[in-house]
Amino acid sequence: MNKLRRILSVFAAFGILLSLTGCIRLAQEDGDLNGQDRFIGFFITYEYLDLFDHEKYFDDMLSSNKPENLWGKALQSEDYQGRLYAVLSTKTLTEEVTGTTFTTKEYVFEGLQGINFFSACVPEGPEGPGYRYASSGEGIADSKVHFNDSDDKESVILEGTLYVSSTAQDRYTYFFNPIYQKADGSVYLISGSGFYIDADQGEGARYTKTCEETISVIENKRKKEIHTSVTITVAAMYSPSEIVLLYMGKDGTLLRKEEYLPGKLPKEIVPPEETEYIIAETYKENAQGESIIERSLFDRKNNTLETFYKREDNLCVKHWTEIRWTLENKKA
Domain boundaries, given as residue ranges, for the chain:
2-6+22-46+82-237, 240-331
Between 168 and 279, whose confidence is greater? 279
Euclidean distance between CA atoms 124 and 107, whole angstroms: 14
* Sequence-separated (6 or more) residues with CB below 8 Å from residue 163: 141, 235, 236, 237, 308, 315, 316, 317
DSSP 79: G
Residue 37 predicted with pLDDT over 70: yes
Q: What is the pLDDT of residue 294?
A: 95
Euclidean distance between CA atoms 317 and 164, whole angstroms: 9
Residue 25 predicted with pLDDT over 90: no
Query: Mean pLDDT over residues 162-172, rounded?
Result: 75
226 contacts 36 by C-beta, under 8 angstroms: no
Between 68 and 154, whose confidence is greater? 154
Kindly report, residue by residue over 241-280, the tens digit of the pLDDT: 999 999 999 889 999 999 999 999 999 999 999 999 999 9
Q: Indicate if the alpha-carbon torsion angle 86, 177, 235, 114 is positive or negative.
A: positive
Q: What is the pLDDT of residue 303?
A: 95
Which 3 state secondary structure label does DSSP give 302?
coil
109 contacts 83 by C-beta, under 8 angstroms: no
Mean of per-residue pLDDT scores for the chain = 81
* Sequence-separated (6 or more) residues with CB below 8 Å from residue 250: 274, 276
Kindly report, residue by residue over 110-148, the tens digit of the pLDDT: 999 999 999 999 988 777 788 899 999 989 999 999 999
b/e burial code for range 49-83 (CB count within 10 A of at least 16 → b): bebbebeebbebbeeeeeeeebeeebeeeeebbbe
Q: What is the pLDDT of residue 275?
A: 95
Between 220 and 149, whose confidence is greater? 149
Q: What is the pLDDT of residue 150?
A: 86
CA distances in angstroms from 220 to 13, 122, 217, 224, listed in the order given: 43, 19, 10, 9
Question: Which of the four pLDDT bands, split at 50, 70 and 90, describes residue 15?
Answer: very low
Which 3 state secondary structure label does DSSP give 239?
coil
Query: Mean pLDDT over residues 50-75, rounded?
Result: 64
Q: Is the whole model's pTM more than 0.95, yes or no?
A: no
Q: What is the pLDDT of residue 255?
A: 97
Q: What is the pLDDT of residue 21?
A: 32
Q: CB atoms < 10 A from the CB of 44, how many?
A: 22
Query: Mean pLDDT over residues 304-321, rounded?
Result: 93
Between 71 and 290, whose confidence is greater? 290
Euclidean distance between CA atoms 9 and 60, whole angstroms: 14
Question: Which of the four pLDDT bands, split at 50, 70 and 90, describes residue 68?
Answer: low
Euclidean distance between CA atoms 109 and 187, whole angstroms: 9
